[in-house]
Amino acid sequence: MIINYNFAPILIVIWSSARSTSSPLPPLFLHQMDWNYYSADSDAVAAARSLQTFTIMYTSMATFWMYDYACSFHEESIFLLGCRWSRVKALYILTRYMPFLLFAVHLYTNFIPDETPDRCQFVNNICSTFSFMSIVCSEFFFILRTYALWNNNKVVLAVMLSTFAALLVGSSVAIFSATATAPFATSSIPGITGCYQSSGSASLFVPFLLLFVLELMLISLTLTCALRSWRTHPSRLYVVLLKHNVFYYACGLVFSALNVLTSLLLEYAYSGMFNDFQIVIHAILATRMHLRLWHENHQSHEPW
C-alpha cells in the first residue's frame, strides 16, 4: 500500500466535520488516519511496510511456483508415471512438493490477523523445518550429480558427504537457536498482519554463509572434473549434466551472498525477505534439471 501523507490536512478537516455532525467516519479514512497517526513512530511504520513487502514477496513466490508447476505438469506426469520407484524418485517428490507445505504455512501466518508472538514463533519453527528439509533435498541432488561427474569416485563422495553433514549441523544449530532466542513482534498498526523477528535475526546469515561454502566446494569439484574430462566425455548427457551443475551453483552462490548481506544489513521483515526465495528457487532448479536429465537419458537410452 502506498502512503501519501499529503492527504493529512484533508483528512483532518473531514474528521473535524464528522465529529461536529456526530457521524461515523468511513473505514477507508480511518485506515488512512491510522497510518498518519502512527507516522510519528517511524519504527512502527517501517515494520509495517516491511511486513507488507514481505507478504507481497511471498505471494509472488507462491504464484511463480504454481506457474512453474503448471508449465512442467505434462513432463512431470510422464516422469512420475514412467519412472520406476527408487530413492531418487522419492527424493524428487520431497524436493518438488516441500515448498507447497512451506507456502501454505507461511501464507497463513502472513494473512491471518490477531497473531501473537508465541504463535508466530511456533509457526516459524514449522516453516524453518520445512525450509531446512527442502534445501537438504535440493543440495543432495547436486551432491549425487557431482558424484556422477567424478565417475562414482568414493573419495569424492566421502568428502562431500562429510562436509555436507558438518554444515548441516552448524546450520541447524544457527537456525533454531536464533529462532528460540530472538523475540517475534507484530505490527502495532491495525490491519497489518504477519510477524517478524525484532532482534537477533542477524545471526541467521550463518546458514547461508555455510551454504555458500558448500556450493563453492561443489562448483570447484565440477569445474575441476570438467577441465580433466571434457575431451574424453563427448556424451550429450554428460554435457547437459555439467551445464546444469555450473548454472545451479552460480545461482546458489549469488542467492547465498544476497541472503548473507540482507541478514546483516537490513532490519524488520526485510532481513529475511529472500531466505525462502532461495530455497524455492533451489527446489525448482533441482527438480527441473533432474526432469530434463531424465528425459535426455530416456531419449538416448544411455545409463547414468
pLDDT at residue 74 tops 50 = yes
The Cα–Cα gap between 47 and 192 comes to 10
The Cα–Cα gap between 193 and 35 comes to 14
pLDDT category, 292, cuts 50, 70, 90?
A: confident
Burial class (CB in 10 A: 0-12, 13-18, 19+), 241: buried
- What are the residue ranges of helices labelled H in the chain? 8-21, 27-38, 42-71, 73-82, 87-111, 117-149, 154-181, 205-229, 236-265, 275-300
The set of cell numbers assigned to 166 is 558438518
Model-level pTM? 0.73
As beta bridge partners, residue 195 has 186
The half-sphere exposure of 73 on its side-chain side, counting CA atoms within 13 A, is: 6
Domain with CATH 1.20.1070 in the chain: 42-300
Cβ atoms 208, 259 nearer than 8 A: yes
Q: What is the mean pLDDT of the chain?
A: 73
What percent of the chain shows pLDDT beyond 70?
Answer: 66
Residue (of 167, 139, 179, 165) closest to 281 by Cα position: 139
CATH number for domain 42-300, candidates 1.25.40, 1.20.1070, 3.40.50, 1.10.287: 1.20.1070
pLDDT at residue 7 tops 60 = no
Q: Return the minimum-mean-pLDDT range out of 29-43, 68-82, 205-219, 256-270.
A: 29-43
Give the mean pLDDT of 178-205: 63
Residue owning grid cell 537419458: 297
The residues, any chain, with a CB within 8 Å of residue 121's CB and separated by 6 or more, are 179, 180, 184
